[in-house]
Structure 1
């Protein structure tokens, strides 16, 4: 997800590996299995894939990647970043590169909808401080706890 490192940095700074949550002034939030289903369209139950469903495996990989990235000496992050970004854009719309009503409704999974937005260089050039400020200034009404569907 080239161009989104500032948002990624601001989120990783707030990740707490011991609770698998982002600590924000308004409380704790996290990516859940339900989010994986809506965002990536992956099943969260059914046949196991080396001990996990595809959805659970994706979420576990994201949590591990966030854990590694939250360590002081980490400079890169792998994992299902589209899951993290779409989750952030849907749950905290003020972080999104464009308003949701400008997206083409291609149904579920939501990641398909976000993959079609036109890249905006003004958004991807915003510094980490911009996203830090946004996360620090947000109120409880700025977080969407509704289903993503």
Structure 2
């Protein structure tokens, strides 16, 4: 499929004054329904309770560092940065209101300042995961095949099997967390079959596909004083129950409605470039896939996040 055509840069006065539009659309929503074709079924069209969040942070912390016998095997996969990137408590008010601004058709948040999205560069800087490499095409598993894979890869009685179990739990608590709060799909074991080859996968792309498809990522706003610039940027923040109860969904809505272009930090990782450089692959426009998940990636809609105006 061809990549979507580039759009014009966002005008400098975006979000300054309401503009009359000749198109007839949704009251209080998009005036031109030709782009956001699914708006009638969008969460923004109905008053719903805040999201229920399940945090896996404590599960990751309970794992601790891998035991010395498997530490090298885990590090060799390139997934060890995830050990430090879990959040104990999520801000459901913040996530709930951002859900109202997210649209699948454009893979972006529609805010008063224009569109923003989670980019490949964001994932690379936040999690220190590669955004180039192989994309895994998982095959559907019959129950008997799944059982056999579990026996072959997790019950072999050696340290490699222990490393696979550790990594499967880590992936289930971070990149592929779901609303079950306890389960991880056995199909991801296939990417851990040969640990010497696991590093070749574009895990950053896998994470972005999962976020775009499920949008179940956790956000918070309290800085961690122990963060150092060599760590993944996701380690900068730590959330507490006191923090996340401070602001409710309605207050977040009001703050975002008042947001203006000068209020936004469009390029937040300038000081982190010596550790995690910008990769030109972040400018790719088209489809991203991981297994059966296929999503649009459209950086041309968020040019300010790439230093353009």
TM-score (norm 1): 0.70
Task: Show CA shifts across 1:51-89 (max 9, x none).
Answer: 8721011001100013xxxxxxxxxxx4xx14xx2xxxx
Between structure 1 and structure 2, the one with the greater Rg is 2
Where 2:266 maps in the other structure, the secondary structure is: coil
Match status 1:113 vs 2:247 = no
**Residue aligning to 1:54:** 203
Q: Distance in 2 between matches of 1:14 and 1:118?
A: 22
- Per-residue deviation at 1:144? 1.3
Corresponding residue to 1:140 among 258, 261, 270: 261
- Per-residue deviation at 1:49? 3.2
The 5-angstrom pairing of residues 96-107 of structure 1 reads: 97-98=221-222, 103-106=225-228, 107=230
Cα-Cα RMSD? 2.2
Which 5+ residue runs of structure 1 have no aligned equivalent?
A: 67-77, 86-95
Total equivalences in the alignment: 119
TM-score (norm 2): 0.35
Where 2:226 maps in the other structure, the secondary structure is: coil
Corresponding residue to 1:18 among 86, 99, 105: 105
Structure with higher helix content: 1
- Per-residue deviation at 1:47? 3.5
Where 1:146 maps in the other structure, the secondary structure is: coil
Which 5+ residue runs of structure 2 have no aligned equivalent?
A: 1-54, 56-88, 139-200, 273-309
